Amino acid sequence: MLGPEIGIGVTDPKASGAALLPGEIPAMKRAVETRRLEFAAGRSAARQAMRELNLSPVAIPMADDRSPVWPDGVIGSITHCNDICIAIVAHKGSEHGIGIDIEPDGLLDPDLEAVICTPSEREWLDTQNTERRGHLAKQIFCVKESIYKAIHPLIGQMIEFQDVEFLRPLQPNSPIALTIGDRTTRLELRLMSQTLDDKFFSFAALDDMSAMFLLSLESVS
């Protein structure tokens, strides 16, 4: 579904029995058991994905900002829900930035809508009926999470939900308006999303021009 140059791994945090590698243990030193199982299952899924690309299944430590630290020449993303962990990896160069997120396919808390969605996106939500509105707002949250994971490693700074605005909300490959500091730029991404059983899944990948633009921001920061 994501293309031959992206490896995918899937595990169940409740059943995988995955072990942490030495380089990953410090991150979970004070974690509760459910978090440790979740973390281990995510790293196991990442190593599955790496094997798909004939990469050595090495340790994937956690950075200070809680993001995965991938081996040199590799990019990736990990997501988890209560009963599934999914990881994707790619060779750096075949892809420039990839992100994945999975969420229960429920309604977004109405109190969070103004935090997640921009005024323009909320105007679009106003055209939907009440129940559908909650589902769509939750899907916007999920897609923005996957976009953040694709972009953050390139620029190394936080992006708020309001910094990402869909120009065609929840349409495949919708361009976004990305605001960093006082600069807003239109970016093209490869976006895919779908409902899988009771989950909503989103994938984001940067195209060449978008990646070049983001790297130029990093070089002047």
Summarize the annotated binding site as residue ranges: 35, 43, 79-80, 101-103, 145, 149
Binding residues for CoA: 35, 43, 79-80, 101, 145, 149
Residue 64 DSSP SS3: coil
Pairwise CA distance, residues 195 & 87, whole Å: 17
For 79-129, the DSSP string reads: EE-SS-EEEEEEEBTTBS-EEEEEEESSPPPGGGHHHHS-HHHHHHHTTS-
Tokens 């004939």 sit on residue: 54
Binding residues for Mg(2+): 101-103
Sheet order of strands, 98-104 included: 98-104, 199-206, 189-196
